[in-house]
Amino acid sequence: MSFIIGLIMIVVGALTIIKSEAIFSFFGRIEWFEDKLSTAGGSRLGYKLIGLIILFLGILTMTGLISGFMEFVLSPLLMYSNPE
């Protein structure tokens, strides 16, 4: 099941990267991306970064490595929730 979900995430991420101009014309500018990325095409770059993150998480989900990655990323927060 995780293979199929990961594959769907990979397809969605790739389409988000490829069709960022269509997504931009549908949703418009996002001011946070324009301000923080400091480029003229900040929203387009932001949509591509979102697609890249979805693609990366899809690969991790498909290969079954998502739990280890999330444990690594959240370990500083989880360290304090489990005192010994």
Q: Give the count of domains, the chain.
A: 1
CA 1 vs CA 5, 57, 72: distances in Å: 6, 15, 23
Q: Which domain holds residue 42?
A: 2-81
Contact call for residues 21 and 44 (beta carbons, < 8 A): yes
Enter the pTM of the model.
Answer: 0.82
What would the pLDDT profile of 21-69 be if each residue is shown by its tens digit? 999 999 998 888 888 887 778 889 999 999 999 999 999 999 999 999 9
**In the chain, count of helices (H) and strands (E)?**
5, 0
Q: How far apart are CA 35 and CA 13, in angstroms?
A: 24
